[in-house]
Amino acid sequence: MAKGVTVSIDGLREVDAALGNLGKATGRNVMRRVAVARLEPIAEEMRRLVPVDSGDLKEGIAVTTKNPKRNRKKSEVEAHAGPGRHPQAHLREFGGDKNPPAPYVRPAWDGGKDKLRDGIADDFWTEIEKAAARQAKKAARLAAKG
């Protein structure tokens, strides 16, 4: 079975420095929000392409930052898009004894992987600005309480 796909983006030193200024937990949350937002169009395409019998598989396609139990965490933030733990997911994708393959995950990934990286720095800056504004608002509220 194929392993997950790792996407690396070089040249985001300024983003990394800004994330460091936010604090560890806030920086991690910013990265999670950007990752989920970037993977959602791929999940939407999976939902569009998946063959539907009862609809369980289509409804089960999601984007999550939770790490599957069988995988070891390799980085600070990981995001996954796909059908989750549905037993019929791989049978739909690759085919089974009586069912021909009906790929939906791979075509969705192939069609969306290039768009995943386009504009990611802008998304990071938008989320960093929002997080910094929330931190400033919280600090002002705490200072007002005295």
Residues of the chain above pLDDT 90, percent: 19
- Evaluate if residue 101 carries a pLDDT over 70: yes
Mean predicted lDDT score pLDDT of the chain: 83
Q: Average pLDDT for residues 76-91, to the nearest whole number?
A: 83
- Evaluate if residue 3 carries a pLDDT over 70: no
Q: Average pLDDT for residues 120-124, to the nearest whole number?
A: 84
Alpha-carbon dihedral angle through residues 7, 10, 13, 14, given to the nearest 10 degrees = -80
Measured CA to CA in angstroms, residue 33 lies from 12, 26, 78, 125, 137 at distances of: 17, 11, 11, 12, 20
Residue 1's pLDDT is: 47
Quickly list DSSP for the chain. Answer: -PPPP-------HHHHHHHHHH-HHHHHHHHHHHHHHHHHHHHHHHHHHS--SSSHHHHH-EEE-SPPTTS---SS---EEE-TT-TTHHHHHH--SSS-----HHHHHHHHHHHHHTTHHHHHHHHHHHHHHHHHHHHHHHHHH-
Residues of the chain above pLDDT 70, percent: 87
Confidence band of 42 (pLDDT split at 50, 70, 90): very high
pTM score over 0.85 = no
